[in-house]
Structure formats: C-alpha cells, structure tokens
Structure 1
Amino acid sequence: MAAVRPGSAEEAGMSRSGLYRAAHEGRLKRIARGIYLPADADAADWDWIEAATRRSDATICLASALAHHDLTDAIPAALDVAIPRGSRIPASDGAIAWHQFDQATFDIGRKEILIPGTGQTVGIYSPERSIADAFRLRGEVGYELAREAVKEWLRRGGKPTSLMEIASRLPRAKSPVLQALEALG
C-alpha cells in the first residue's frame, strides 16, 4: 500500500478522522509529518517514501543515486533529491537534501523505479546522469565523489560515449567529464 496523507485518506477508503484514529490505535504508523503507512507494511526507506509523497517529480540524484547504483562507497548523510528549479521546496522531517535542477534538463536520464517494500514509485537518475551531475556540481559534492564513481563505472564496462552523450546535454559537465575520461583512459 502506498503512503496515506490526510488529503488522500478518502482514496484509501477512510475519512480524515478515521486516518488519525487508525494511527492512534496503532494500525497506521506515522513516518513523517502528515504521511502514514500501515503498521504491518514491509520495511522500506522512509526518506524515499517521504520524498515521493511530497513531490511526484522527486528524483534521487547525486551521491544518493550513485550509492543506489553501487558506484560509490560514500554513505550520504541525507537523501539527495532533485526537483525542477522554481518549484517550492517541501518542508520535510527526514534527512532529505533538496536540490533544484534546471527544468530544461530535468528529465535527462530520469526513470521511475519502485520503492522497495512499497507499491510507490520515485524518480532516479541513470548512472551516466548521476556521474555527469557529480562532475558538474563537484564544488558542492566534492571532486573525489565524481572521480571515484566514473572509475567504478568504467571498471564495470561503462561506455564513455554514453557518458559523453549525457554530459554534453548538461551545462558545465562536458569539459570535466572529458578531462576525467582522458586521465583515466
């Protein structure tokens, strides 16, 4: 079952007061402000659920996407989530770092995946997009994260042409990605 919010309680077959009563009785558990899951729901990453519930266009990015694709050993302190620039950044209880990406390039390398343990989906960037973003935003996330990710990606058989195709479509990504590929090649 997907997360239930007071505004969507009727879609789940209960009233708003019924939602709060179910939470008080222990049939629902509160995972974040205004977001509830059934008490017997499978284990799931609550930050992923919160991000997907707060924004339908939420997209896992940067270090969190690289970690999901097993391209880094770094454990992000917060879930990195991209939303289109100009969107309101939601208030959240979880450890979520909201990033605003340009609307013109927001969907490049983006796909929807199922959140493990739920029937809910969330966006995530491809390994190539995540690497290009790490190079593009290296001042914010650190150059080592990008370099480590591209080395691991190449070791697993990643094709430089597919990485350059994505990097050439993003601002400030092509040159540093090309330099890293030349240095590692």
Structure 2
Amino acid sequence: MAALAPRNAGQEGLSRSGFYRATRQGRYERIARGIYVSADAPAADWDWLEAATRRPEATICLTSALAQYDLTDVIPSALDIAIPRGVRIPAGGSAIAWHSFDRATFLLGREEIPIPGGDLTIGLYSQERTIADAFRLRGELGYELARDALREWLRRGGKPGRLMEIASRLPRSKAPVLQALDALS
C-alpha cells in the first residue's frame, strides 16, 4: 500500500477528477492534507505514512525513537521526525514534530525500517544514536528522559563503547553521556 496524492492519480490509472470521484465513493481515504490511501489498505500508522510521503529522508528520532525501542515510559504527544538541516519543513496540521539535524551527522546511526501495513519505509535512528541525541538535546527533552533511557539500555545489555563511539561524533553529547555513564556505574 502506497500513499497517493491527487497529483499522482495517474499511477492508479485515474485522472485527478476521477480520483476525487473515487474518494467521494469511499475507495480512498484521506490521511492528511493531500495524502490518501486505499480504503481497503491494511492498518498502518498514518503519521509514519505522512512523514515518509512528505519527506523520503524522514527519520524517527528523540522521544518517538526511545518509545519505539521501549526505552521510556513517556508517550510522545507528536511523532518526532528528523530531516536534514536546510530541507523545507512540510506544512501541515498533523501530529508530527519536525526537527532539523546537521547534514554532516544526519545519516549517523540511521537505518530504514518498513512501515507496518505498507510498502513504504521510514528511517529510524539506532538506540545508541537516540540516547546520544537525548543527552545532546537534554535542554529541550529533559535530563531525566535521557538518563532513564540510558539506565534501561544498560540494564538490557547495551555496550557503552558503542554509545561513546556515536556520542563522540555528535556535537555536545560526549561529555554528558560520559558523565551519566560514570554516575550509573
């Protein structure tokens, strides 16, 4: 299942007016402004679909990634998505919080995962990258979130060497991660 925009209706063999007619008949369902899916499509996370459709380089980060890895009890109020700095942040009223990350480190710890129920993929930062980012942005997220995620990650057998390798390549994260590792040891 791919998300579809009216401008791409030709991919489904429909004209734009034919696409809108099919939508009124219930064959397509609107998930966000300008983004539709087939009404019989399997269940999927619409925010993930919207982010991946609006920006192919979209990457789940920060609190949303910690929740994805079950490293926090915090339920994010919006899907945290990273895009490279300098890329236009999409307009929309959805529950997506767009974050601009430095292009030089954007791909560090990034992997592609399939969106359940669809044929699209979305980026997800590794556990180590996500924890390092939480420490790096602790002023925004809160120190407790980063510390608790680190504690849970270590309890599950996380390797501090791998975390420090990532943290040393990200600005403003090596020192706080090292301090937290010392405090938790």
d(CA) in 1 for partners of 2:15 and 2:57?
Answer: 27
Per mean C-alpha deviation after superposition, the further-off stretch among 8-17 and 168-177 is 8-17
Between the aligned partners of 1:85 and 1:79, the Cα distance in structure 2 is 18
Distance 1:181 1:19 in 2: 55
Partner of 1:80: 80
Q: In the alignment, which residue of structure 2 is the partner of 1:115?
A: 115
Q: Supply the RMSD in Å over aligned alpha carbons.
A: 0.9
Q: Which residue of 2 aligns with 1:28?
A: 28
Quick one: distance in 1 between partners of 2:12 and 2:148?
Answer: 44
Query: What residue is the counterpart of 1:93 in the other structure?
Result: 93
TM-score, normalised via structure 1 length: 0.97
Q: CA deviation at 1:16?
A: 1.8
Q: Distance in 2 between matches of 1:6 and 1:140?
A: 37
Deviations 1:51-73 (A, max 9, x none): 11000011100000010011111
Q: Distance in 1 between matches of 2:167 and 2:174?
A: 5
Is 1:62 matched up with 2:32?
no
**2:180 alignment partner AA:** A
**SS of corresponding position for 2:106:** coil
The answer for the alignment partner of 1:106 in structure 2 is 106
Q: Does 1:12 align with 2:9?
A: no
CA distance in 2, matches of 1:93, 1:31: 12
Deviation at 1:92, TM superposition (A): 1.9
TM-score of the pair, normalised by structure 2: 0.97
**Tell me, which stretches of 5 or more residues in structure 2 are unaligned?**
none
* Separation (CA, whole Å) in 1 of partners of 2:84 and 2:13: 32
Tell whether 2:150 aligns with 1:135: no
Instruction: Give the length in aligned residue pairs.
Output: 185
Separation in structure 2 between the aligned mates of residue 122 and residue 68 of structure 1, nearest angstrom: 13
Distance apart, 1:19 and its partner CA: 1.7
Runs (5+) with no aligned partner, structure 1:
none
